[in-house]
Structure 1
Amino acid sequence: MESINTNMLVAIMIISVLAIFMELGSCKVQFIFGDSLSDVGNNKYLTRSLATANLPWYGIDFGNGMPNGRFTNGRTVADIIGDRMGLPRPPAFLEPTLTEDIILANGVNYASGGGGILNDTGNLFIQRFSLYKQIELFQGTQTLIQNKIGHNASQKFFAESNYVVALGSNDFINNYLLPVYRDSWTYNDNTFVAYLMETLGKQLKLLYGLGARQMTIFGLGPMGCIPLQRVLSTSGDCQDRTNKLALSFNKAGNNLVADLTKTLPNSNFKFGDAYEVVADVISHPVRYGFNNSDSPCCSFGRIRPALTCIPASSLCEDRSKYVFWDEYHPSDRANEMIATEIIRKLGFLYNGTNLAPSPAPAAAPSSGD
């Protein structure tokens, strides 16, 4: 009888320990800071913003197929990485239904289309959240959670959460490379990248001071090859200077993140760089199952660049064969390849119950050409 009771006690202890681990695993959430590549709906609540994804055909391959604030036909890279890690998808900060309980269960996404590392970046879009503004909003979130669960529990919650920082392309495309911005004549290519790194370093340290310990910073892809950049060239080729700026940003960003990880106690910062694989996809699309890597799936006939996808736009026949959804943003399938490469490089592990990806229709609706 004593042996049976002992075995039962051991079994109960094992079950209890497993339950604790399951509970800890299930409460891991993400806080995402980014631009339109990660925005899941913040900008649709910025009523004066010119950077929005509120119209069809955005979101056509996500959920009910209606616009949801994502600047693509389906999922973002952050969506896919979170799904693969078994993490819940964090809602937009400006979502009216957001509550403390939802934050505790899902985290928050502060990403804003047109936003950048620098405060001045993207001001042509009128309204958008820069990274500093997103961090300010995060501070407000911390106050809410602290009031809800107390100081110690709040500190533990934020220290155990995952953080994603994914900005930078707008600082070049919608700032430095446009002559209307002061930065275009204040800096040269090298000093502007150094300026971005100095600013980003301060921002990452600020997040660290607010409790962020596990952080992934995304690098830039070959932004000189997005359709918007190609169409600005008479040859239709990638913009070599723009791509070199992305490579310089990635090299400096990788060094910055490595230095911060060495100097900030208990920090686990990673730099996610998918530049090479994306460049190879663009150079050899057929090798990866695409048939177009130089023009958008959603376009307004021969009028280019049509800076956004609108209901009057035409859709390509098969969205899974296009690398780019619109003039700026990758398609769902391209995002999946980017996410897979980042996961491979950084060794992210599955951490729970995976969310099923939104299925993509086999073909475009009747508006396709």
Structure 2
Amino acid sequence: MAQFWFSILLAFFMVLTAVSGQGGRGREMVPAMFIFGDSLIDNGNNNNLPSFAKANYFPYGIDFNGGPTGRFSNGYTMVDGIAELLGLPLIPAYSEASGDQMLHGVNYASAAAGILDITGRNFVGRIPFDQQIRNFQTTLDQITANLGADNMARAIGRCIIFVGMGSNDYLNNYLMPNYPTRGQYNGQQYADLLVDKYAQQLTSLYNLGARKFVVAGLGLMGCIPSILAQSPAGGCSEEVNQLVLPFNANVKTMINSLSANLPGIKFTYIDVAHMFQDIVANARSYGLTVVNRGCCGIGRNRGQITCLPFQTPCPNREQYVFWDAFHPTEKVNVIMARKAFSGDRTFIYPVNIEQLANLDNETN
């Protein structure tokens, strides 16, 4: 069975190596997309882990064709929307992918995971970014053994590498009372620590052949239902919003530095915070009416306890920004995917994903 899969994969990548990625509806713009991140884009990698960070139960997936899969949403995540816009099928989870399911990429994201290995330990099982990179290397090693290093390098150089990390390094590390980090670092120092590590990790992906990177910044985490629920007035926490600003600033600086120092590398930065601001400020124009509480959850802002198994969610999910205490609804994920794919520099820098996919890339 393994040899059968590798034969298919070999033929697939050889064709893609010979022909440039082509845009257009129904046409695959890139050979594949490989995804690294946390629960915002996890699609099932935690399902079989001894972890408290799971979403493989109803009502998660209530609006997804496959039902509960491990996605922390009622339906699509942002990377699901991006995959479709790239002309790709939905990308399978690393833990579940086999055979020809892996032909268009793999999703390594894991709920509770962070840039730092220690992040998310309160949830027990999770797959930190360093381990996600090792899993990616395992995938590439298997393919390269059959395809050959040169052909593999050319194919991987045209693939999209989507990375969305950092949220848990704040929510499930720095802001947690049982972690020492807040006493060790101020906000700027912690952002420096995270992004120094982040740069090393992205360089590791580059050294494995990745060239086209999409990096998502952090959103306004002070406005998620979990944080809103901690405010007596139910308002956004400016302290938390200000805390993550240095991280986003550092990531932009990191992207410019890596672009200058790593030949052939290309970046797209998604300004998630600005996207969120736009969605909330113009909620009604997007068909959204509820911006400050989850559709599924318990307590103040439906954010004190997140969505429980078989809990009945709100019926008007299309009108909600947030699905649960931490995560957007499918509606918002799709809006953000479209902005990231074809938006202007208001939300995405220096090029959008569509432009990134169409860039000719030298593989070094």
Q: TM tier, shorter chain?
A: 0.7 to 0.9
The aligned amino acid for 1:86 is G
Q: Residues 295-330 of structure 1: CA distance to partner in whole angstroms, max 9, x if unpaired? A: 110123669545332244231121000000000100
- Cα pair distance change 1:312/1:92, threshold 3 Å: closer
Q: Aligned residue for 1:189? A: 187
Gaps of 5+ in 1: 1-15, 353-369
Question: Structure 2 CA distance, aligned partners of 1:73 and 1:172?
Answer: 24
TM-score by length of 2: 0.85
Q: For the Cα contact (< 8 Å) 1:30–1:90, is it kept in 2?
A: yes
The answer to whether the 8 Å contact 2:175/2:182 transfers is yes
Computing the radius of gyration from Cα coordinates, the structure with the larger value is: 1
- The answer as to 2:31 corresponding to 1:28 is yes
How far apart are 1:135 and its partner, in Å? 0.4
> Which residue does 2:352 correspond to in 1?
347
Q: Within the alignment, does 1:102 sit opposite 2:105 as a pair?
A: no
- Map of 1:40 onto structure 2: 43
Please state whether the residue corresponding to 1:107 is helix, strand or coil. Answer: coil
Q: How much has 1:162 moved relative to structure 2?
A: 1.1
* 1:212 paired residue number: 210
Mapping 1:13-92, distance limit 5 Å: 20-21=19-20, 26=28, 28-46=31-49, 48-64=50-66, 66-92=67-93
- The CA distance in 2 between the partners of 1:130 and 1:162, in whole Å, is 20
Aligned match of 2:288: 290
| Matched residue count | 330
2:229–2:300 CA contact under 8 A, matched in 1: no
Q: Is contact 2:294–2:302 with CA below 8 Å preserved after alignment?
A: no
Indicate the percent of aligned positions where both proteins have the same amino acid.
37
- Please tell me whether the aligned partners of residues 61 and 73 of structure 2 are also in contact (alpha carbons under 8 angstroms): yes
What is the Cα deviation at residue 340 of structure 1?
Answer: 2.3
Give the deviation of 1:42 after TM superposition. Answer: 0.4
State the SS of the aligned residue for 1:148.
helix
Task: Give TM-score scaled by structure 1 length.
Answer: 0.84
Unaligned runs of 5+ in 2: 1-14, 359-364
Please identify, of 234-243 and 281-290, the stretch whose mean Cα deviation from structure 2 is larger. 281-290
Whether the 8 Å CA contact 1:300–1:312 is kept in 2: the answer is: no
Structure 2 counterpart of 1:69, one-letter code: G
Instruction: Go from structure 1 to structure 2 and tell me whether the alpha carbon gap of 1:20 and 1:279 turns closer, same or farther (over 3 Å shift).
Output: closer
Cα distance, 1:233 vs. partner?
A: 1.2
Cα distance in 2 between the residues matched to 1:279 and 1:22: 33
Residue 287 of structure 1: how far off its partner (Å): 4.1
Residues 63 and 247 of structure 1: CA distance in aligned 2, closer, same or farther (over 3 Å): same
**Is residue 254 of structure 1 aligned with residue 255 of structure 2?**
no
CA contact (8 A) 1:222 1:243 kept: yes
Q: Which moved more, 1:274-283 or 1:193-202?
A: 274-283
8 Å CA contact retained: 1:44, 1:54:
yes
SS at match of 2:327: coil
Residues 202-249 of structure 1: CA deviation (Å, up to 9, x unaligned): 101111111110011100111110000000111111111111123222
Output one character per residue of 1:87-142: Cα deviation in whole Å (capped at 9) or x when no partner: 232210000x513x433x21110000010111111010100011001001111111
Aligned to 1:130: 128
How far did residue 255 of structure 1 move? 1.2
Partner Cα distance (1:262, 1:202) in 2: 15
